[in-house]
Each structure stands twice: as structure tokens, then as C-alpha cells.
Structure 1
Amino acid sequence: MNPAKPNRTHPPKWIEPQLTRLVDEAPNGPDWLHEIKYDGYRMHARIDGSDIRLLTRTGLDWSHRYQATIAALRALPVKEAYVDGELCAVRADGVTSFSRLQAAMDEGRTGDLVFFAFDLLFLNGESIAKLPLIERKARLEGLFSTDMPGLRFSDHVIGDGPTFRKHACRLALEGAISKRIDRAYASGNRGLWVKSKCLNREEFIVVGWTDPTGSRPHIGSLLLGYYTDDGRLLYAGRAGTGITVAELKRLARRLGPLQTARMPLDVPPPRESRFGSPLELSRVHWVRPEVVVEVTYLTWTEDNLLRQVSYQGERQDKPARQVVRSPPHP
């Protein structure tokens, strides 16, 4: 009589992701490892036999959007796994691009996207989330002994974070992610993983738009806002550059149904701003604060408005209520 086979443990349905805290400089010392900061969608890959799922940072199942990535994940030499990573579009020079990722989604060209795997929380019936990060990454790297199109292991450097970040900036990357090598995975924690950026780059909420002028079609500028810690929605400035004609058309379709007669801001824009006067405010198309976009900017003014803003794309993976103001990089 054959002994009964032990029941295999299935990977968790979803694990709340560990988060990062913005710092001015990458930390130094042998207790930290440093990875490239990718410019894409944070994504968890859950593998349970033939059932493979891609889950967003809030637990939404986006598997149907990225069937090519699901197919690529089948090449991993595992029966069950739970992998933390970033889904990206990669330019010819090897740099990830969020605007290209959004364009690929809008145009249905997701076959060339790359899933960068940087953490492993469950493997073949065993939860390993409590192991030190350096051990989890060693097990993850072992799964990438052969080249698998559409999948890449996110390598790292230990120690000398400032030099790592400096080289990342010279290569026109977004920045560095630094992590304690000796700690377990801590869902929601913002202290054991930190990010140091090369550019000021943040998410903001679209609170309205203006009519276009001249030959520009569909939309003039996007009016941006953010939530304070006490829940107020404040004006941050406007974004008009960096938006292609195709994206202007898409944004017009996206924002049109969200129009509202009531200004969603808790405090009107400052009088020193472009839309501080009643006349200018009357020309704004206000919208319900539901759409989140990502922009780059130079700095904040003394009036708490963004300077030299450039639109990067819509963030469909982040709820508007989570958008708060972060301090700019010096």
C-alpha cells in the first residue's frame, strides 16, 4: 500500500506589497543591496500549477491584459511560486519607459513587455517570505539559469549606494531602490526599502482640464492635485507638455464622463497661479478626482505649485486616495 502523498500548500491568493520610502540619497554600508528603479507597473506573479495570475499592487487581477507575460511565466521551472516584480516596456537602449508601457496597453501591443522579478515569497509549497531578502533573491536567481524571453531577474549590488545611484543617473535611469539584505518581507512597510531618484517624478490626481488653444486638439492642460494627510484635496499645478496627440484624444475620452460642475478641490488654486482668478476658474472643466497620472517636474515653488512639469502617463494601478505629496529630490 502506497503511503499517502502530503498535500501541497498553495501560494497565497494575494500578498500586500512591501513599499518604499523616498530619500535624498541611497544608503551606504554592507547591510543594503541596490537595484535599478524600474519605470513600469508593480506586479505580483502567482503561479499555482497551470493557473498563473498577474496581480496589481492593490490585488486586482490583470492577467487578461497581459497574456504574453502569462505565457512567459510558464517557462519558470516551478510548480508553485509567488514572485514580486515590475512589468515594463524596454527601449532599444535597455531603459524602461512608462510612456511606452501605456502606449503598448492602449494599442494592444503587450507581447514585448518584460517582467523584471526582484523578490520571491513562495516556492514549491513553501512560504519563504520570512527569510532574509538576500536568501530569497538567491533562490529567485536560481530560477533564471536559462534565458527566458519576457522575463528577467533584477540583479543587485551590495554596498556603496551613493555610487550605484550616481551611475544610474548617468545612464538616464529613474533612480535606485535600496533594500535591507537581512530582513523578512514586510507588507506595507516603507522603511526597509527606500528609493532615491534622479528626477522628481510623482503621481498626481487630475482635477480638471482646460480647452486647447491654437492647433492643439482635445485638451489644453491637465490640472493636478494631491491629498494631504488629513484628507484635503489641494491644487498642485498643471501639466501640458509631453502629451502626444493620440494621448490627448484618449484623455479627452477618459475624462469626459467624469465632468462635474463642482470644483473638487477643498481649497481653490492660489490667486498667484494661472487659475487663481474667478474668470480663469470659470473656463476649467472640473472632473471627479479619480484619474491618476505620473509626471516629472523640476521642483515646487514657494506657493506650493509644480515647476516645469512633463506628463508621463496615466497610472491605472494606483487609487486616487493614495496620492499624497512627496518631498522633491534636491
Structure 2
Amino acid sequence: MTVPRLPRWIKPQLTRLAKEAPSGDGWLHEVKYDGYRMHARIDGRDIKLLTRTGLDWSHRYRRTIEALGELKVKSAYIDGELCALNADGVPVFSRLQAAMDENKTDQLVFFAFDLLFLNGRSTAQLPLTQRKEKLKRLFKREIGGLRYSEHVLGDGPQFRAHACKFGLEGAISKQADRPYAPGDRGIWLKSKCLNREEFIVVGWTDPEGNRSHIGALLLGYYTDDGRLHYAGRAGTGITDKELKRLAGVLTPLHAPKMPLVAPPPRDSRFGSPLKLSKVHWVRPELVVEVTYLTWTEDNLLRQVSYQGQREDKPANQVVRVIPHPPRTR
């Protein structure tokens, strides 16, 4: 009999955005964590933290690696999220980025929410509820920097409402009886408290007044046909320190031509006029996360606030539909 080998990397199961968490007893609901999606691969004393694209980031989080080494397992493959918490225990993405920038990652917390392999056996084909039962047993003993992600069954709208009340990002709802499905976007749903998404930086404007380094970031996204569309600007929520850092990251990405399928509108009812002559275009490689109020009818973001850079997500994965596509006759 062939013993299953611990996978080197498993493509993560993904989520689909929903306006509300689903109701019904067939759904399991967890907190949506505001951090970096990470897979913990444990093979004896060889422990790795892998990103959503399979990159080995173990060297960045030595304390988390040490904590995972305290789990009583021979081998395991755990899906989870690495977060930085505020004083109330709420994950805050900007704190995670700051911890990485300052190389102070000892206080990060890895929230484990799925188990795909355990002690020589694949568990990925088991129903989610059974996978989580096995996972929870690994976390009977409290280990600093590690937490098991609790869940509730049924009543998704109420769960999401409570998550929003406590200042969390939202809820993740999962079909409780389904196996793990790498890359799938239909079995797991995310419903957010704030509109919060990743976008690609396509350019930046010159600063004005007392502001230094960068005025605003110009944002974009891909559609399924591979075309890059303009989404709007992000200027608020960026500290002076972050403006300086972003300028250093964006300067080497300078592009001689606009990477968008169509130029941004020069005027908008919800912002100051955009002077294209003062825009510095860049190669579409840098991904950032922002919050926003809504999309305008002309497909521009309103009341955008910068949250941080997403080093864990490649630009080609920032794909969405056009919010208000033109009507066809």
C-alpha cells in the first residue's frame, strides 16, 4: 500500500464575493480575517509558511514557524491566515504591513481554519466539518501565536451582523459538507462589512501643497478578457512614511506609456480634475488594498482609503467584472 506523500503546495480554495452571508443549516460561518493567506506545511522539523501562490515566506516569520513546531503532529498541511491584532484583538491589515516593514513579526497570529493533510493521510476529500474537528484537536493546548478559527453553523446574516458590530472585516461562509476544492470560488463565499478590495497601481500623481512624494495612486483592475481598466484614485489613508516607501517602490516601475485600455476621465463629480500630463504611469505590478463607499455609475470608486500593499497577491489575480457595464441594445 502506497502511503500518501505530504504535498509540496496545494492551490488554495478561493472565495466569491456575496452581498450577504447565506442562511440555512448547510453553511458554516467564520470570521473573515484581515491578513495574509498562508499555508503551514509541517514535515517533522521541516516547517514552511507558503503564500497563496506557493512562495516560501518562512524566513519572514520565524516566531510563527517556532510556534507551529510545538504542534503535536508528524506531518500536516494547514490552511489559515496570518494577522496582526490591535488592542481589542481585531486583525488590522495596516499593522501587518508595518510589522513586516519594521521586521517585527514576533507578535503575529496564525489563524488555522482548514486541515488538508495529517500524519501521512490526505484529509482534503473529507467534509469540511470533519476536517475542522481534526484541526481543532491539534489546538487543544494553547500555543502563543497560533489560534484555531472557530465557526458557527447556520444563521449567516446574524453572524455577519455580529462580525460587523465588533469591527471585523466580514464573514466567510462555507458549505459544511463539501471537500476542499483548490481554486474553486463557489463553495466559499465572503460577505464584507465595508467594501474592501485589492486593486493594481497603474500610476501616481504629483503631490500638492505640504504633501510629499506622491499625490494619489491611480488604481486599476483586469477583466476576464485580460484588459486593464481604470478604477479611480486613492489619496487618503497614506502616512508620510508610507508615501516615501511607495515612492521608492513605484519609481523603478516607471512605464513610458499608459497601461490602461482607455484613459481615465479628466473630470469627475466626486473628485478634483485629473491632469494626465502630471500622471506618472507604472507597470501594473503593485497590488494594494483599499476601502471605498461605492462605485459610481461611470465605474469609478467613491471615498477611497488606502489600507496597505498586498505583497501576497500577484497583479494578474486582480480580476473582476465591470461594476456598471454599458447596456447593449
Residues 211-249 of structure 1 show CA distances to partners (whole Å, capped at 9, x for unaligned) of: 111111111100001111211111110000000111111
1:256 alignment partner, SS class: helix
Match of 1:291 among 242, 266, 286: 286
Counterparts of 1:156-195 in structure 2, within 5 Å, are 156-195=151-190
Q: Which amino acid aligns with 1:13?
A: R
Q: TM-score, normalised by structure 2?
A: 0.95
Residue 246 (str. 1) matches residue 273 (str. 2):
no
- In the alignment, is the contact (CA less than 8 A) between 1:39 and 1:97 conserved in 2? yes
Q: Is there any run of 5+ residues in structure 1 with no aligned partner, and where? A: 1-5
1:220 corresponds to 2:248: no
Does residue 47 (structure 1) correspond to residue 42 (structure 2)? The answer is yes
Q: Assess if the C-alpha contact under 8 Å between 1:53 and 1:63 holds in 2.
A: yes
* Distance in 2, Cα, partners of 1:228 & 1:50: 43
2:326 alignment partner in structure 1 = none
Q: CA deviation at 1:87?
A: 0.3
Provide the C-alpha distance between the structure 2 equivalents of 1:258 and 1:189, rounded to a whole number of angstroms.
32
Q: Say which of 48, 65, 68 aligns to 1:70.
A: 65
Rounded Cα–Cα distance in structure 1 between residues aligned with 2:291 and 2:321: 13
2:220–2:231 Cα contact (<8 Å) kept: yes
Quick one: distance in 2 between partners of 1:13 and 1:287? 34
Deviation at 1:116, TM superposition (A): 0.2
Match of 2:230 in 1: 235
Asked whether 1:16 is paired with 2:31, we answer no
Listed as ranges, the matches of 1:196-207 within 5 Å are: 196-207=191-202
Q: TM-score if structure 1 supplies the norm length?
A: 0.94
Check if 1:27 corresponds to 2:28. no
CA RMSD between the two structures: 1.5
- Greater shift, 208-217 or 93-102, is seen at 208-217
Q: Identity over aligned residues, as a percent?
A: 72
Q: Deviations over 1:26-83 (max 9, x none)?
A: 1111111100000000000000001000000011111111111101100111010000
Aligned residue in 1 for 2:327: none
Aligned length: 321
Query: 4+ residue stretches of structure 1 with deviation over 4 A?
Result: 6-9, 274-277
- Distance in 2 (alpha carbons) for counterparts of 1:144 and 1:313: 31
Does residue 92 (structure 1) correspond to residue 92 (structure 2)? The answer is: no
Report the AA paired with residue 261 of structure 1: P
1:140 aligns with 2:140: no
Alignment check: 8 A CA contact 1:114 1:152 kept: yes
Cα distance between partner residues in 2 of 1:9 and 1:42 = 25
Alignment correspondent of 2:123: 128
Q: Do 1:22 and 1:326's aligned partners in 2 also have CA atoms closer than 8 Å?
A: no
Counterpart residue identity of residue 12, structure 2: P
CA distance in 1, matches of 2:146, 2:103: 19
After superposition, what is the alpha-carbon deviation per residue over 1:237-289, rounded to whole angstroms, capped at 9, x for unaligned?
A: 00000001111111000001001121111101124346877xx1111111000
How far off its partner does 1:109 sit? 0.5
CA distance in 1, matches of 2:119, 2:24: 33
| SS of structure 2 residue aligned to 1:282 | helix
Q: SS in structure 2 opposite 1:201? A: strand
- Structure 1 Cα separation of the partners of residues 246 and 3 of structure 2: 47
Instruction: Give the secondary structure class of the aligned counterpart of 1:28.
Output: coil
Alpha-carbon deviation of 1:325? Answer: 2.9
The answer to whether the aligner puts 1:318 opposite 2:313 as a matched pair is yes
For residues 295 and 82 of structure 2, the distance between their equivalents in structure 1, rounded to whole angstroms, comes to 30
CA contact under 8 A between 1:11 and 1:48: conserved in structure 2?
yes
Alpha-carbon distance in structure 1 between the residues aligned to 2:55 and 2:295:
33
Counterpart of 1:259?
A: 254
Gaps in structure 2 of 5+ consecutive residues: 324-329
- The 2-side partners of 1:13 and 1:238 are apart by 39
The equivalent residue for 1:304 is 299
Shift of 1:10: 3.5
What SS does the aligned partner of 1:218 have? coil
Contact 1:10-1:80 at 8 Å conserved across structures: no
Deviates more, 1:136-145 or 1:316-325: 316-325
Query: d(CA) in 2 for partners of 1:210 and 1:275?
Result: 12
Q: CA deviation at 1:174?
A: 0.5
